[in-house]
């Protein structure tokens, strides 16, 4: 994986100011990583290298054989990372993934149909993820799913259920009491940074994803050179934000990476979307993350190129390994003869190059991240590098990227209404 920045005309004075903060933060991160503990919020970068924690997960999951369906109940950071990695890496023989995040009858019906089709409890593994154990949507869905499964399979389904959360929460403790397999999420790590903890590793392992390579890719960014590159990308974003570029467009040319865009959207929105700095001043450089795919070239390009100039675009792609060819003599190609000898890869590359050239023509700032291949190692490296970049960006802008007080506000009002 490599990233390159383009059309980023940055003010040298601001660069020098920010570079001092970046250099100091890099030293802090490297010191933290050497300690290899969970003493600070940045410890999410340490998790991929924590072999003891990861081996315990793999060992505990060895008993699950012949799984047909993995059912994941969780919302936001409790499910988005897993969905993103699964969508990018799942192969034809993988168990299916059913996700229940928001409360809706259609998802419950999908699970009910799944249970009806299964002849034994061992066909399904249910993974319930909630750090606090008090998330309204998760607890509502989890209770209904357990009711349905236990009605058919009885107590046998307990052995097919997994809880993941804070070990000090009532949710985790009741799971232990019921002899349910429980995994803990280190208390200091927030949901949007948790994909390399049990939150992501447990369901992804059950789904047959190569989580060892995923972790190795993530761990590879924990070197001074890699961190410096993440810092440079964050610095570019910060200065563009100061200059009015308040929209960040995660634009992927590969459909399999779309959900990584949505995972990144949460990472940026919850980390940087604050109204106050850590110094107690008003923060006025909020960034709005959006996600685009190549399908949007025929619905959003007029806005991106012709109308809206306050956007920084991050193009993310990889070379597809199984291109298809056209039959050169087909009658439909008479009006487009230049397609006769082209593969799908060549056409997609031409489209990508055409988009980049159009951005150049308009002098719009962008960066390109190209994965060598769509592998677990490369996906792990991409996710971890984006997490590190977000930490640098927050540090540069004097923002706390590890809390989300406004999210708690809607949860509080919801509980008040339901209790009235």
pLDDT of amino acid 42: 93
161 in a domain, yes or no?
Answer: yes
| The three-state (H, E, C) secondary structure of the chain, written as one string | CEEEEECCCCCHHHHHHHHHHHHHHHHHHHHHHHHCCCCCHHHHHCHHHCHHHHHHHHHHHCCCCCCCEEEEECCHHHCHHHHHHHHHHCCCCCCEEEEECCCCHHHHHHHHHHHHHCCCHHHEEEEEECCCCCCHHHHHHHHHHHHHHHHHHHHHHHHHEEEEECCCCHHHHHHHHCCCEEEECCCCCCHHHCCCCHHHHHHHHHCCCCHHHHHHHHHCCCCHHHHHHHHHHHHHHHHHHHCCCCEEEEEECCHHHHHHHHHHHHHHHHHHCCCECCCCCECCCCCEEEEEEHHHHHCCHHHHHHHCCCEEEEEEEECCCCCCECCCCCHHHHHCHHHCCCEHHHHHHHHHHHHHHHHHHCCCCEEEEEECCCCHHHHHHHHHHHHHHHHHHHHHHCCCCCCCHHHHHHHHHHHHHHHC
Residues 113 and 207 in one domain: yes
Residues 209 and 245 in one domain: no
410 in a domain, yes or no?
Answer: no
User: Is the distance from CB of 18 to CB of 26 less than 8 angstroms?
Assistant: no
Distance CA 45, CA 407 (A): 24
pLDDT of amino acid 286: 87
Count of domains observed in the chain: 2
418 in a domain, yes or no?
Answer: no
Instruction: Show the tokens assigned to 74.
Output: 């969780």
109 in a domain, yes or no?
Answer: yes
Residues 325 and 371 in one domain: yes
Whole-Å CA distances, 330 to 39, 159, 212, 340: 64, 57, 46, 8
Residues 363 and 397 in one domain: yes
Q: Which residue segment(s) compose the domain that 324 sits in?
A: 2-29+220-405
Q: What global pTM score does this model have?
A: 0.93
Residues 51 and 170 in one domain: yes
pLDDT of amino acid 36: 74
Dihedrals φ, ψ of 104, to 5°?
-155, 145
Task: Identify which of 72, 44, 81 has the alpha carbon closest to the alpha carbon of residue 263.
Answer: 81
416 in a domain, yes or no?
Answer: no
Residues 366 and 237 in one domain: yes
414 in a domain, yes or no?
Answer: no
Residues 90 and 167 in one domain: yes
Distance CA 167, CA 418 (A): 26
How remote is the C-alpha of 243 from its chain's centroid? 27
Distance CA 39, CA 43 (A): 7
User: Is the distance from CB of 114 to CB of 106 less than 8 angstroms?
Assistant: no
Distance CA 78, CA 129 (A): 6
Domain limit, last residue, from 150, 181, 216: 216
Domain limit, last residue, from 189, 216, 243: 216
Residues 350 and 204 in one domain: no
Residues 177 and 66 in one domain: yes
Distance CA 165, CA 184 (A): 5
Q: Terminal CA-to-CA distance of the chain, rounded, Å?
A: 52
| Sites in the chain below the pLDDT cut of 50 | none
Distance CA 183, CA 171 (A): 11
Residues 152 and 212 in one domain: yes
Q: What is the pLDDT of residues 150-182, one digit of tens each?
A: 999 998 899 999 999 999 999 999 999 999 999
Domain limit, last residue, from 172, 194, 216: 216
Residues 192 and 340 in one domain: no
Q: What is the pLDDT of residues 310-348, one digit of tens each?
A: 899 999 999 877 777 776 677 787 788 887 778 888 888
Q: What angle do CA 132, 268, 262 make, to 5 degrees?
A: 80
413 in a domain, yes or no?
Answer: no
Residues 123 and 231 in one domain: no
pLDDT of amino acid 378: 97
Q: What angle do CA 310, 314, 319 make, to 5 degrees?
A: 150
Find the CATH number of the domain harbouring 164.
Answer: 3.40.50.10490
Q: How would you classify the pairing of strands 2-6 and 366-371?
A: antiparallel
Distance CA 218, CA 200 (A): 13
Contacts of 175 (CB under 8 A, 6+ apart): 163, 165, 182
Residue 286 backbone zone (phi > 0: left; psi -120 to 50: alpha; other: beta): beta
12 in a domain, yes or no?
Answer: yes
């Amino acid at each position: 994986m490599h990233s390159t920045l383009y059309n980023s005309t940055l003010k040298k004075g601001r660069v020098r100011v920010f570079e001092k903060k970046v250099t100091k933060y890099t030293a802090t991160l490297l010191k933290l990583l050497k300690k290899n503990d969970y003493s600070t919020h940045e410890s999410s970068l340490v998790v991929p290298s924590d072999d003891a924690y990861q081996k315990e997960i793999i060992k505990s999951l060895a008993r699950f054989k012949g799984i047909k369906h993995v059912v994941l109940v969780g919302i936001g950071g409790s499910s988005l990372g897993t969905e993103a990695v699964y969508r990018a890496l799942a192969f034809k023989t993988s168990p299916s993934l059913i996700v229940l995040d928001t409360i809706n009858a259609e998802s419950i019906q999908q699970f009910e149909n799944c249970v009806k089709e299964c002849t034994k409890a061992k066909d399904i593994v249910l993974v319930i993820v909630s750090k606090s154990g008090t998330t309204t949507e998760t607890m509502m869905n989890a209770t209904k799913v357990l009711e349905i499964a236990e009605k058919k399979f009885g107590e046998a389904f307990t052995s097919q259920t997994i809880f993941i959360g804070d070990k000090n929460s009532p949710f985790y403790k009741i799971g232990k009491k019921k002899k349910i397999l429980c995994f803990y999420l280190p208390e200091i790590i927030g949901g949007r940074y948790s994909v390399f903890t049990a939150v992501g590793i447990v369901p992804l392992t059950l789904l047959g994803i190569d989580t060892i390579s995923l972790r190795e890719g993530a761990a590879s960014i924990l070197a001074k050179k890699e961190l410096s590159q993440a810092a440079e990308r964050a610095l570019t974003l910060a200065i563009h934000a100061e200059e009015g570029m308040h929209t960040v467009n995660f634009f992927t040319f590969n459909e399999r990476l779309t959900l990584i865009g949505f995972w990144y959207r949460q990472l940026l929105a919850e980390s940087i979307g604050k109204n106050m700095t850590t110094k107690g001043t008003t923060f006025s450089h909020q960034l709005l993350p959006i996600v685009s795919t190549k399908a949007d070239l025929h619905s959003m390009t007029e806005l991106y190129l012709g109308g809206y100039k306050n956007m920084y675009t991050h193009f993310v792609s990889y070379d597809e390994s199984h291109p298809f060819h056209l039959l050169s003599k087909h009658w439909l190609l008479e009006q487009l003869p230049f397609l006769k000898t082209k593969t799908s890869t060549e056409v997609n590359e031409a489209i990508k190059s055409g988009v980049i050239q159009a951005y150049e023509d308009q002098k719009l700032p962008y960066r390109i991240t190209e994965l060598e291949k769509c592998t677990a190692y490369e996906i792990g490296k991409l996710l971890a590098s984006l997490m590190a970049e977000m930490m640098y960006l927050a540090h540069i802008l004097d923002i706390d990227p590890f809390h989300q007080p406004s999210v708690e506000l809607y949860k509080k009002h919801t509980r008040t209404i339901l209790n009235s």
